[in-house]
Amino acid sequence: METLLLKGKPVSDSIRLSLEPRVQALIETGIVPKLAAIIVGDDPASKVYVRNKARAFRKLNCESQTYQLNSKSSEKDVLTVIDRLNNDPSVHGILVQLPLPNHLDSKAILHRVSPNKDVDGFHPENLGLLLEGNPNFIPCTPHGVLEILRHYDIPVSGRHAVIVGRSNIVGKPMFALLAQKFEMGNATVTICHTRTKDLASFTKQGDIIIAAAGSANMITGDMIKEGADIIDVGINRVDDDSEKGYILVGDVNTKSVMGIANSVTPVPGGVGPMTITMLLVNTVTSAEKCVELVAGW
Ligand code: GUN
């Protein structure tokens, strides 16, 4: 079987293109969609993500401002910045880059972001609305996965989707989306995690596998069913002899699934390019809601 590589870039490009007229229409009403990203500390990967976000926003004529806080900042310092941004009408989206330093209570911080500006979709009100089937903001990575499935016409309805990983960022919202009664859902969904016994016995049943465990190369060809569609959400650094000293690999051992899977997303270049695109979608949508609010007055 020839295995199709599900590249994220064409999907991302077509979604970004569809955003251009929406941004233009907003600018004509005097509104520039704006994201505020808060980053606490010096995690190098987080800094790269935030820089890439800023570049993507600029390219689409949207604004993004980064609030870089010291790694020793207190919870109160972070909450003060969030409160200010919640009350700033020029800001449509607020993102707190994760992971936060260990001394901070991530839940308390994420709960403080106004649900109306929570473009990451991490606030419990937005997670609740997602579970209910009435989403406000859909978390960006799972949303990006759905858009890849949609773009490449991978059927979902009635199929068995096996998710490996139960994080609040990917695994749990992915479950809520794939099990939902709507055109990209209606799957039978299994969630596996670190305490799952005999993981392979579950992944072998998956028509769709969503690998989001954060463990390099953990899903191998002998763990999948012939013809499965595999979405690799993992981005793991593995040391090697290259100039950088590491390479990026996914949670799926891509080489070993070639010829067995129907399709697989590459790492890098699969789900990765989608996350920032879905953040753009959520921020533009949030700005449009402001216009609707003003027009309704
Ligand atoms: N860290 C890793 N992924 C994400 C994400 O989607 N949003 C935020 N805020 N932080 C992250």
Q: Strands 34-40 and 63-69: what pairing?
A: parallel
> Do 151 and 58 share a structural domain?
no
Tell me: do 97 and 203 sit in the same domain.
Answer: no
Q: Please state the atom number of ligand 1 nearest to the C-alpha of residue 120.
A: 7
Q: Quote the domain boundaries for residue 192.
A: 140-271
How many domains are there within the chain?
2
Q: Tens digits of per-residue pLDDT, 273-288?
A: 999 999 999 999 999 9
> Do 151 and 105 fall into the same domain?
no
> Is 96 close to ligand 1, i.e. is its CB under 6 Å away?
yes
Could you tell me if the CB of 141 is within 6 A of ligand 1? yes
Among 2-11, 47-56, 93-102, 217-226, the range scoring the smallest mean pLDDT is 47-56
The dihedrals phi and psi of 185, each to the nearest 5 degrees, come to -115, -135
* Closest C-alpha to ligand 1, atom 8: 97
Question: Would you say the CB of residue 275 lies under 6 angstroms from ligand 1?
Answer: yes
Q: Hey, how many other C-beta atoms are within 10 angstroms of the C-beta on 39?
A: 20
With beta carbons less than 8 A apart as the criterion, state whether 144 and 8 touch. Answer: yes
Q: What is the pLDDT of residues 159-211, one digit of tens each?
A: 999 999 999 999 999 999 999 999 999 999 999 999 999 999 999 999 999 99
Does pLDDT of 295 surpass 70? no
Cα–chain-centroid distance for residue 21? 23
**Which atom in ligand 1 lies closest to the alpha carbon of residue 279?**
6
Residues β-bridged to residue 67:
38
120 lines ligand 1 (CB under 6 A): yes
CA 129–ligand 1 middle distance (angstroms): 20
Which pLDDT score is estimated for 237?
92
- Measured from the CA of 95, which atom of ligand 1 is nearest? 9
CATH number of domain containing 217: 3.40.50.720
Compute the distance from residue 98 Cα to the ligand 1 centre, in Å: 5
* Domain shared by 106 and 160, yes or no: no
DSSP 265-284: --TTTSSHHHHHHHHHHHHH
Give me the CATH number covering residue 62.
3.40.50.10860
Prediction pTM value: 0.96
- Ligand 1 within 6 A of CB of 169: yes
The yes-or-no verdict on residue 266 having pLDDT over 60 is yes
pLDDT for position 293 = 67
In terms of domains, do 166 and 251 share one?
yes
Q: Tell me the catalytic residues.
A: 53, 97, 120
